[in-house]
């Protein structure tokens, strides 16, 4: 038996790629070492003393996929994928007994922060507006074909991403201060938070949220300032989780792929 494409690894990324290849009428095979599909996006029995009780093995909240056309283009809802919105999106408790909540409604979040620091609330409001424009640009670039690897090598790599010919077609670019954006991206998130905010509740809450959303990038790491920009997508789509756990996304992707002959 022959195939046009073989995808190694049945994680969510591999299954998405396989679906698009199959949608393009290619004959696709996906191979996976584990008996459970999904990679870091599984819902399975992981507690030996609790048979039948399933937990998410990795991902819990599905954020970035909500900013892509994947769910719609692959019609995953027709394969049983349903999401519920979490509100408030985050609740960060502190040792002093207080709680700082973050809502999809930015105004409500600003009101929450103002209970701890009016200055931080005003500053966060302005920064979210600035970061939101930058996130929109990065989002558009993310959905465009990437530059060639040869263009990304060396000092001029960033210019390959933000080249004028590409930016001229993106209306989001007109609202972005690139000097400020690059500075934010190369900083650590903790350094950024310490520079911009005065109250520890604000700093700790945002640092915690960044760490939860981007678990592979600790906020002390240089370049983790990118998380500040990217977290603003929460105010556009909210925080969503699939009914039945993260494995529901994998089940839908597998069913979709099989329906396409993969």
- pLDDT grade, residue 164 (50/70/90)? low
Helix (H) or strand (E) holding 92: strand 90-93
Closest CA to 262 of 9, 30, 14: 30
Question: Domains of the chain by range and CATH?
Answer: 5-85+240-259 (3.50.50.60), 90-237 (no CATH)
* Mean pLDDT (whole number) for 222-251: 94
pLDDT score at 165: 54
pLDDT of 117 over the 60 cut: yes
pLDDT of 120 over the 80 cut: yes
pLDDT score at 178: 79
* Mean pLDDT (whole number) for 91-104: 97
Residue 75 or 58, more confident: 75
Summary mean pLDDT of the chain: 89
H-type alpha helices, the chain = 12-23, 70-73, 106-114, 118-143, 149-152, 157-161, 164-167, 178-186, 189-196, 200-213, 226-230, 234-237, 247-259
Using DSSP's 3-state secondary structure scheme, residue 4 falls into coil
pTM, full prediction: 0.85
φ, ψ (nearest 5 deg) of residue 216: -90, 0
pLDDT score at 175: 75
Residue 46 CA to residue 254 CA, distance in Å, equals: 22
Contact 246, 73 (CB under 8 A): no
Q: What percent of the chain has pLDDT over 70?
A: 88
Please name the residues in contact with 199: beta carbons below 8 A apart, sequence gap of 6 or more. Answer: 116, 117, 120
Unique residue bearing structure tokens 């390959």: 160
Residue 150 CA to residue 133 CA, distance in Å, equals: 28
**Tens-place pLDDT, residues 66-76:** 999 999 999 99
pLDDT of 174 over the 80 cut: no
**Tens-place pLDDT, residues 186-219:** 899 999 999 999 999 999 999 999 988 776 788 8
pLDDT of 149 over the 70 cut: no
């Amino acid at each position: 038996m022959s195939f046009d494409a073989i995808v190694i690894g049945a994680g969510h990324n591999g299954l998405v790629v396989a679906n698009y290849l199959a949608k393009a009428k290619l004959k696709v095979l996906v191979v996976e070492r584990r008996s459970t599909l999904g990679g870091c996006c599984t819902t399975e029995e992981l507690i030996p003393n609790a048979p039948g009780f399933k937990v998410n093995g990795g991902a819990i909240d599905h954020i970035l996929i909500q900013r892509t056309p994947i769910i719609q283009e692959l019609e995953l809802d027709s394969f049983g994928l349903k999401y519920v919105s979490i509100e408030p999106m985050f609740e960060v408790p502190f040792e002093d007994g207080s709680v700082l909540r973050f809502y999809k409604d930015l105004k409500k979040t600003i009101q929450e922060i103002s209970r701890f620091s009016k200055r931080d609330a005003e500053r966060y409001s302005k920064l979210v507006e600035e970061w939101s424009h930058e996130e929109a640009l990065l989002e558009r670039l993310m959905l465009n074909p990437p530059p060639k690897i040869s263009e990304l090598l060396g000092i001029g790599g960033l210019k390959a991403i933000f080249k004028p010919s590409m930016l001229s077609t993106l209306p989001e670019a007109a609202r972005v201060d690139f000097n400020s954006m690059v500075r934010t991206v190369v900083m650590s998130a903790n350094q950024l938070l310490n520079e911009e905010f005065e109250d520890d509740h604000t700093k700790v809450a945002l640092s915690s949220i960044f760490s939860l959303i981007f678990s592979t990038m600790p906020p002390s790491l240089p370049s983790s300032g990118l998380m500040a920009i990217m977290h603003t997508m929460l105010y556009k789509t909210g925080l969503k989780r699939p009914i039945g756990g993260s494995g529901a996304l994998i089940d839908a992707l597998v069913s979709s792929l099989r329906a396409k002959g993969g």
